[in-house]
Amino acid sequence: MLMFFSMKCGALFDALLDENEVQKDCQRLTILLQAMENVDGVDFRTDEINKILMKYQISDKVSLEDIEHIIEKKKWKRELLVQLADDKRMEDNNKILRVLSTHSAIELVHFCTNDNMKSKWNTYNMGHPMGETLFWKFIAPKFFDVQSIVGCEYAFLFAADLSEEGALVNYYDVSLKFQKRLDVGTNKPFYDFCCDFMCQEINDMRRNRQLFFENFNIDKDNIIA
């Protein structure tokens, strides 16, 4: 036996906007409008206004129309907060994690190679590590099979990398094209604490697999089977 792996269903998600930050965002914009309109003759501190202007990277020539345009673009955040509050009042289950959107995914679990067979593998002169070659030859197509049956956007795993230099994470990144992306998240079980969440889009995996074998550079007498 050269390798063992298993797969299970999972889900990734885009995180919901930070509620506190949305509230602060609206407050800052309100302060700008009040300061520019000088509502009720309120005297705002110049340094406070400048900090807000810098946050939005607006010049000192900003107009009321500019600020109103920014507020208009951020209205959906306010609406999101209202819908979030309504959903919390309606739903009794407080264990539900509310997110912006979800993505169907398949997790690669217990992905490991048989170290006792690596010396044998080296006699084949493939020019590529055993785990990398077997992943692209046998495992990647399993993700494609699942995708052909159900909607499945991502493949992901938790890398149990305890090395100081991050050797395993680097291997998964460079050789298997999984990345430590920060724009999507997932639920991490206790079993995978201290492991690194990594993922890739399955459509990207198709292209990466094709590139891998196009540049495999093996001798013509070698056969991958």
Could you report the average pLDDT of every consecutive run of 10 residues in the chain (225 residues)? Answer: 92 79 65 58 55 57 62 68 83 86 94 91 88 95 94 94 89 96 92 94 96 78 52
* Prediction pTM value: 0.72
For residue 167, what pLDDT is reported? Answer: 92
Task: Give per-residue pLDDT as tens, 125-151.
Answer: 888 999 999 999 999 999 999 999 998
The first and second tokens of residue 11, run together, are 């889900």
- Among candidates 5, 3, 1, 4, which has minimal Cα distance to 109? 5
The helix/strand/coil state of 163 is coil
Q: Are 215 and 170 in contact (CB under 8 A)?
A: no
For residue 185, what pLDDT is reported? Answer: 92
Domain-wise residue ranges, the chain: 3-15+101-214, 19-90
